[in-house]
Each structure stands twice: as C-alpha cells, then as structure tokens.
Structure 1
Amino acid sequence: GILMKKTLLSLAMAGTIILTSCGSGQKTAKNEMAFSDSAKSDSAIAYSDSEAYGGAQEAQENIESSQLSYKQSEVKAIDTQMLIYSCDMSIDVLEFDQAVDRIHQLISKYKGFIESEKYSDGGNTSKWQYSDVEKWKNLTTVIRIPSSQYDNFCGEAEAIGDMRRKNASVQNLTTEYSDLKTTLSIYEAKEKRYLDILSELKSEQDAIQVENELTQIEIEIAKIKTRMNNIENDVAYSYIYLTLNEVREYKEQPVIERTDTFGQRLKNTVSRTWDNFLYFLENLLFVIIRLLPYLLLIALIVFVIAKLVKFLAKLSEKRRQKKYQQRAQQAPAVPQPPQFPQENMPGALDGNNELPKDNMQ
C-alpha cells in the first residue's frame, strides 16, 4: 500500500511538472509573439514618425524656399528716373585768361549756361595800380550742363589745368517726385469736386465758403507744381561748381653764400640801428609839429573853460552873500537891555580901579 502511494505521488508530481512546463512554454511563446508584435508596431510607429518628420522637414524646406523666392522676388531695381548730378571741382591754371575762354567754349559746346559767376583779379581795395605779376586772379562759377553731357563736360574741364579738388554726388528724388504726383492728383480731384459743388450751389454764403476752400487747394496745387518743375529742371541740367585759381610755376632760388665777416655785419647792424633811431626822432619831431596847432587850441579851450568856471563860482558867492544880507535886514530888531553909566552904579570902580572905603569896611 505504501509503495502504491509513493508511485501515485510521483506520477502526480511528474504530471504537475509537465503541465507547468507546457504552460510556461505557451506563455513564453505568447510573450515572444507579443514582443515581436510590439517590436513590429514600434518599428512601424518609428517608421511612420520618421516619415512624418521627413515630410515635415521637407514641408519646412519648401516653405523656406518659397519664402526665400518670395523675398528674392521683392527685390526691385532702383528707379533712376529723377537723378540730380552735381560736381564741385577746383583747378589751378597758369594761363588764367585762356582757361576762362576755354570754359566758356565748353559751355557753348555742350549747350549749358552760367547760373552765377564771381571774378577777382587779386588786387586789394586800395586805389593803386598793380602789375599783372602782383595779381592772383580767381573765378568762381556755377554752371548748368545738360545731364546727358555731364560726364563729357567734366572730363574736358579737368584737362584745362591742374585738378586740385573734385567732389561728385548724385541725389535721387524719384520717391519725392512720385509722392508729389500722387498728391497733385488728389488735390486736382478735390478741386474738380469743389467746382462741381460750386456750380450747383445757390446760397451765396455757401458759395463763398467753397471758393475759399478752392483758393487754398489752388495754392497747394501751385506749390506742388513749382516743386515738380524745380526737380525736373535740376534733373535736366546738372550742377558744376567750378573754381579757377591762377598760379605760377615754382622756381627754386639759388642759395647766396655769405662773404662778409663778423666785424662787417656788426658795423652794418650798428649803422642801421643808429639810422633807424634818427629816423624815429625825425618822425617824432614831424608828428609834434603837425599836432602843435591842435595842442595849442586844446590848451586855449581848457584855459577859457577854467576861467569861466572860476568867474561863475565868484558870481554865485556874491549872489549868496547879497541874499544873506537882504534876509538879515528884513528880520525884526531884537530889544537891547537898558544901559546905565558906570559912575552912577553902586559899587562901581573909579578910575583908579579902587573900591570905596565904606564898602571895604
């Protein structure tokens, strides 16, 4: 019986082990299948994410490229319709008169005109005649040349002499001119509308008000047209600010060597100093002689003024004393105390200055 129980227990344990191993195998297979499925799903998700990321990146690149192409399409060429050219140049010439004639010939050649001109012969304002060697002539002028001939004129003008300074510039007024045109069209439309309103008005007061508005509009239109005309003229004719300076060719002076001795130079210096001192005294004497009549006249005037002041002071003092005496005479008399003879006064002294005996006793 005991053997039988051990055998059954052994079979039960073996069956339990077999069932457990089968269950774990199935579970492991299921886990492996689940893991493979999750791996596949993860790879699919990763692929889909990478595909989505690639599509997003491609879309972003497309957007950036489209924006770049849009920005590139926004770049426009600079409008060069209203350009004003100007040039400031200074030229030194040896033959001044010939250079001036050449400038006038170039102006006529290129159909320009002189807007302003200032000429100086180099002499000062004193009334003296100077030789041509002592004069330094100068010409400053503003020349207007057609813009189509601007470069040609500047090129030939530079060859007249020695170019010392040149400043060229270009001003673009296209935007301003375009704005003026737009503003002008607005004002003209407004003017037309007011004219239509004015033609339909019957009230005189309303008509006067509309006419005032029309006047202001016409003034603004006139200002805009004036500015537009100035821009058009400046664009059509460029500015040349030209200065011509007369110069002379520099020649080096030869060096003169000293041949005199120290004693000779000292003697010459003392002689020149003494001569200068005598010349100073001579001029001082001449100055005193020239000023002597004026000094005498000034001294005479001072003397007369001093005498007149002294006389007026004395006269004022006399008047003051006279006025004081008159006031003293007009004042009331002051009563005087009674006076008695000395001999009748008791206790009076006699002629010997002795007191009476009775009084002494």
Structure 2
Amino acid sequence: MGFKEQLNKIKENWLLIAIVLLLLIVVTSGSSVMRVGTSSMSKSMEYAGASYDSARYNSGYYPPTPSEGDFAPGEENRILTKSASLSAEITRGTFDTAATNLKGIIGSSKSIILSENVQKYGEPSKEYRQGSYQLKVPVEKYDTVIAQLKGLGEVKNFNENTQDITGEVLDLKTELAVEEARLVRYNKMLDDATIVQDKIQLSDKIFDQERRVAYLQEQTSQMGERVEYSTVSLYLNEKPSEYMNVALAKFSALWRTLVESVNTLFYVVFAVLPWAIAAGLVALVWKLFRRKNA
C-alpha cells in the first residue's frame, strides 16, 4: 500500500481516530477527578474516625550519668550509692490495692516517700490511673525493697545505677577541715588584734568564713544521706481498657461523610459530562456522515 493510499485511508477514518483520542482524554480526566474525590473521602473519614483519650504512658526513668572526677584510686574502702527506676503495670481497677501495698513496703523498711503524683486518664467507664513516686530507701534494705516493688505488678522497665562517690566524700571532708582550721585562725587573730580597723576586717572575714563552713557542713550531711539512702523512682500504671480506643462515630461526622461523598459524585459527573456531550455529538455526526455516504 502506497503512502498516498494510506493518507486517503486516514482521511476516510479521521472521525474514528478523533473518537479514540477523545475517549483517551476522558479516561485520563476521570482518573484525575477520582483522585480528587478519594482525597476528599479520606479527609471526611478522618472526621468520622472514633475519638479516644490518649495519655502519657511512662516508659521508665533513666538516672543521670555521674560526672567523672577525682575517684580516690588509693582508697580501699569505696563509698557507693545506688539509684533505680522501676515501671510496673497493674490490672485496671487495682491501683488502690497496689498503693496500699506500696505504703506497707515503705513502712516496714522505714523508707521515705519524697514525692507522690497520681493522675487519672480516660472517660469514667474506661478510667485508668498512673502514679509516680520518688522514694528514699535505706541502703541495707535496698535489695529487699526492690524485690517487693517488683511484686506490685508486671515489670515493664527497670534501670539501676551505681555511683562511686569516694573521691567526692574525701574531697569534701578535706575542704571542710581546711575551712574550719581557717576559721579558728581568724578567731585567734581577732582575739589578738588591738587596732579597731583590724578587728572590723577580721569580723567580716569570720562572718563569711562561718557561712562557708556551714555550707560545707550541710553538703557533708547531704552526702551522708546519699550514702545511707538509695533513691528509687517508681511508676505504677494501670493497664488501659482494651476498648479505650473504640467509639461509635458521631452523627455529625457521618453526615459530613455523606455530604463529602455526594460532593465527590458531583465532581465526577460534572467533570465527565462535557466530554460525554462532546462524544455524543461526534457519534451523531459520524452516523449522519455514514448515512449520507450510504
């Protein structure tokens, strides 16, 4: 078949080719419109989704890493402090029982509760509680108390940190001894002073030195408490209801979804309608053309 014959064949079938191209354009436009409609439907389903309460769920406390310093390598009797973090999950509705058992453990071990914070979450029918406690436990009772605390519920997280504070304790004691000796010298100098100006200056120095010594004595006392007591952070978490995230969609959300669906249908219809009309006109012209040639 020559080129001229092919060209004539194309001229004879130009209307069919135009219809095929028109259908391709309609299909492409329809896909685009459906993507818009799907996006709109997704947005509406977000409105219709079940609402639920979300609450912080403790995953445990991580004690800070101690800073490095003079650890007194020549000292044989090491001074160690321990701290721990424990997170336990208990059955919903048993928080009061667990709290009572905790108070019993604290009392029997002569431990101290530094802080206590209990929060409620969820709707009344699905309510659950979470509590956080900061405890001071005597070092000789530490292992026993930790074992008892683990028995309060299912252990979800446990961290333990041991810190060597030998160098800190020795440095603090040495500094305190030096400052106390300096205070004694200042008092002796004041007793021996004969000039009024010297007495005034020495009195000011003694005042500052007494404050310095008092501060160091307080630090020494706090250091002793660190040695005598271990710090324990405890988190008690009631297990949330399995139906906490289940809720019926609100009527307003359902109505909004229906409206969005109808709007999407209108988008599709009005996007395709002009092309359908054009295709109908082309088909009508084609029939008239065929009838005329026949």
The Cα of 1:79 is off from its aligned counterpart by: 2.6
Contact 2:112 2:137 in 1 (8 A): yes
Partner of 1:79: 77
Within 5 A, what are the aligned runs for 1:262-277?
A: 276-277=258-259
The Cα of 1:180 is off from its aligned counterpart by: 1.2
Q: Which has the higher helix share?
A: 1
Unaligned runs of 5+ in 2: 1-72, 244-253, 263-294
Partner of 2:219: 227
Bigger Rg, structure 1 or 2: 1
Secondary structure of the 1:205 match is helix
Greater relative contact order (Cα 8 A, min sep 6): structure 1 or 2? 2
AA of the residue aligned to 1:163: V
Of all paired residues, the percent bearing the same amino acid is: 24
How many residues are aligned here? Answer: 179
Partner of 2:121: 122
Contact 2:126 2:241 in 1 (8 A): no
Secondary structure of the 1:160 match is coil
AA of the residue aligned to 1:188: E
Alpha-carbon distance in 2 for matches of 1:250, 1:275 = 27
Alpha-carbon distance in 2 for matches of 1:134, 1:250 = 9
Within 5 A, what are the aligned runs for 1:97-246?
A: 97-123=96-122, 130-131=123-124, 133-246=125-238
**What is the TM-score when the length of structure 2 is the normalising length?**
0.56
AA of the residue aligned to 1:93: I
AA of the residue aligned to 2:147: G
**What is the TM-score when the length of structure 1 is the normalising length?**
0.46
Alpha-carbon distance in 2 for matches of 1:78, 1:203 = 50
Secondary structure of the 1:115 match is strand
AA of the residue aligned to 2:82: Y
AA of the residue aligned to 1:83: L
Alpha-carbon distance in 2 for matches of 1:227, 1:148 = 22
Q: Deviations over 1:93-141 (max 9, x none)?
A: 0022211111111001101111011110114xxxxxx42x411210011
Alpha-carbon distance in 2 for matches of 1:274, 1:171 = 60
The Cα of 1:216 is off from its aligned counterpart by: 2.0
Contact 2:128 2:240 in 1 (8 A): no
Q: Which has the higher strand share?
A: 2
The Cα of 1:234 is off from its aligned counterpart by: 1.5
> Alignment RMSD, CA only?
2.8
Within 5 A, what are the aligned runs for 1:54-69?
A: none
AA of the residue aligned to 1:146: P
Partner of 2:267: none
